Structure formats: C-alpha cells, structure tokens
C-alpha cells in the first residue's frame, strides 16, 4: 500500500466538494457502503433491482438458457436480439459488475436492450459464478465458456461470429480485459473489440487513487481491497496470474481495439489510466475518457443525469462504430 500523504488526506475530506453537480443529489441520498462483504453489496444490488425492475422492450426479444460453465457447473445467460428481425448482426458478450463478489445479469437488462437497439447487435449477458464461493479462475472460465457458446451458436441467434465484442463494467471490466488476454493466448474465439469500463485490474490496491478514494458513498479503496482478497483467496500475492489481475500482464500486443472511461473520483482511476497507456504503447488502438467529478459506476447509478447518459451514449456509439 502507498503511504498516505497530507494531500491525500485533504482530498478525502473534500470528496463531496469535488462531486459533479449532476451527481450531488444522488450522492447525498445514498447510504454508505458497508464492509461486511459480500452480503451488504449483494443486498444493495438486489434492492436496486427491486426498485427499478425489468424494463419493457417490445423491440427486443429476450430469451434465457443454462450452458456448461467451468468445472462442470452450469451458468445462466440471457440473450437479447431484435424482435421480428432475422438479420445477421454483430455479437456482444456483456459481463456485469459487482466487485467479483456480487451482481447478476438482470440488473443490466435496460443497458442490454440499449445495446441491441442503438448499437444494432445481438447481446449475450453472462451470470458468472461469484467469489468468495467461487474464486478465480471460475468466474473468468465461466465468461470464457459464454464467449465460446456465443461463437459456436452464433448462427442460431443470428449473430456474426466474426464480429464479436466483449464489454463489462467494474469487475465485469476486469473480466473483459482478462478474457481478451485469455482468448488471445488460447487462440480464440477472436474478439474484435473490448470495452473494459472502469475496470478492476490491479490487485495490489496500491495506486494513489485507490488509497485516496475512501469515501463510503461509492466504491472505495478499502472495499476494493477486501473484494480482491475474496476473488484471489487461493493465491499468494506473488503468484497471482495476469488473467486474474490484468494489470500484471507484461505483453499487451495483439489485443483487440479498446474503449474505456472512468470518473476521476474512482479508486480505480490510476490503474485504468496506466492500463490504457500501456495498451496504446503496445500498438492497440484505444479510446479513453476521464469524467471530472464522477465516482465509481456513475453512469449506471445516475443514468438519468446528463453526465451519466453522456458517458453511456458515447460508449454505445463507439461500440456501434467498432462493430460496423
């Protein structure tokens, strides 16, 4: 861990004063996150889902099934595609967030519907199994199984197996980056575009932003460190593979073109900036956006705000361009 400086301590004290005006109402109304993980995080995400429920999407056909996952387990996927339209479209594997320890596919239903209607693609959303019950590598291998399923069954769901993207947010962003590395090194399926949005990449939790951001109204450094310890419970620090924590990867050449964004009040800010720079130095085309005054998952938590909608709309537009 990085030793806290006086500047870091002052920044923590002034956190609310740095929050973007669009997000202040939501920031003030949110309860503080608790450290009794994973129960508190799972409960808060379930409560959020109960509040908003499933959106209506008459333009989109939603189906579901179970497929084989890692180590003989079964995993749940939801498939989103245009209703009454059999045109072949690009495919997107979407990976939900939740710190590797919480989350489920239905919480992102509205987002997946937007991908279909605005980015003109077929979406497979995967409910990978969660730590601490299922630590690394099971969540990643579940995602790889879903990627393989999408590729192998592309014709059945009217997807183009030669135009497959992978995207996710937070832990889903970390799994997106890891899956891109894993698919490259296993020789496929080929991914044409990756979008690790505000991703969990660095298990050291020692960047300045991870130390600095300790405000409990949003994902914070201590919470991040605890979630990593659950995900990597079977590994010593020196043995953590690059596919578990992509910040450890030494070779980023040959990876798919990338898009990411993050808020400057996110504890994952510095690892995202560093990973983005390393992708670019490795010759990978990459687009990056840093949003001032925005905390972790500001786009999902504050979807009705101008800055949250702008971040999502810009990403979906980039996804559509990449898949064309």
Rounded CA-CA distance 49/256 in Å is: 32
Residue 266 designated active-site? yes
Which residue in 180, 203, 209, 296 is the catalytic one? 296
Cα distances from 152 to residues 149, 156, 187, 278, in angstroms, run: 5, 9, 15, 32
Show the CA angle centred on residue 49, arms to residues 197 and 224, nearest 5°: 45
Contact (CB, 8 A) for 196 and 173 = yes
**Crossing angle of the two packed helices 171-186 and 138-152, in degrees rounded to 10:** 60
- Return the CA Rg of the chain: 18
The arrangement of strands across the sheet holding 159-169 comes to: 60-68, 74-82, 122-127, 89-95, 159-169, 193-197, 257-263, 286-291
List the alpha helices (DSSP H) in 14-75. Answer: 15-18, 24-29, 39-52
- The active-site residue, picked from 170, 180, 209, 301, is 170
**170 noted as active-site residue:** yes
Is the peptide bond between 132 and the residue preceding it cis, with omega within 30 degrees of 0?
yes
Among candidate residues 266, 270, 299, 301, the one labeled active-site is 266
Is there a catalytic annotation at residue 270?
no
Residues 6+ apart with CB under 8 A from 237: 203, 204
Please identify every residue annotated as catalytic: 170, 266, 296
């Amino acid at each position: 861990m990085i030793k806290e400086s006086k500047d870091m301590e002052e920044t923590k004290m002034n956190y609310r004063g740095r929050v973007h005006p669009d997000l202040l109402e939501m920031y003030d109304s949110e309860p503080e996150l608790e450290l009794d993980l994973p129960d508190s995080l799972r409960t808060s995400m379930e409560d959020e889902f109960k509040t908003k429920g499933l959106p209506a999407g008459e333009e989109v056909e939603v189906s579901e099934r179970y497929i084989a996952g890692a180590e003989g387990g079964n995993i749940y996927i939801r498939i989103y595609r245009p209703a009454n339209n059999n045109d072949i479209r690009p495919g997107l594997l979407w990976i939900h967030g939740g710190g590797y320890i919480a989350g489920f596919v239905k919480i992102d239903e509205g987002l997946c519907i937007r991908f279909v209607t605005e980015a003109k693609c077929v979406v497979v959303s995967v409910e990978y199994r969660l730590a601490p019950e299922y630590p690394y590598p099971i969540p990643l291998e579940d995602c790889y199984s879903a990627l393989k399923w999408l590729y192998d069954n592309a014709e059945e769901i009217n997807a183009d197996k030669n135009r497959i993207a992978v995207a996710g947010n937070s832990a889903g962003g970390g799994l997106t980056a890891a899956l891109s590395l894993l698919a490259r090194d296993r020789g496929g399926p080929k991914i044409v575009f990756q979008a690790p949005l505000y991703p969990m990449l660095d298990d050291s939790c020692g960047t300045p932003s991870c130390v600095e951001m300790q405000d409990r109204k949003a994902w914070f450094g201590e919470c991040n460190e605890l979630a990593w310890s659950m995900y990597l419970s079977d590994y010593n620090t020196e043995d953590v593979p690059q596919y578990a924590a992509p910040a450890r990867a030494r070779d980023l050449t040959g990876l798919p073109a990338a898009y990411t964004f993050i808020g400057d009040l996110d504890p994952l800010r510095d690892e995202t900036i560093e990973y983005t720079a390393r992708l670019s130095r490795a010759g990978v085309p990459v687009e990056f956006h840093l949003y001032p005054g925005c905390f972790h998952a500001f786009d999902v938590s504050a979807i009705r705000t101008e800055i949250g909608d702008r971040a999502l709309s810009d990403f979906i537009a980039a996804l559509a361009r990449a898949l064309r």
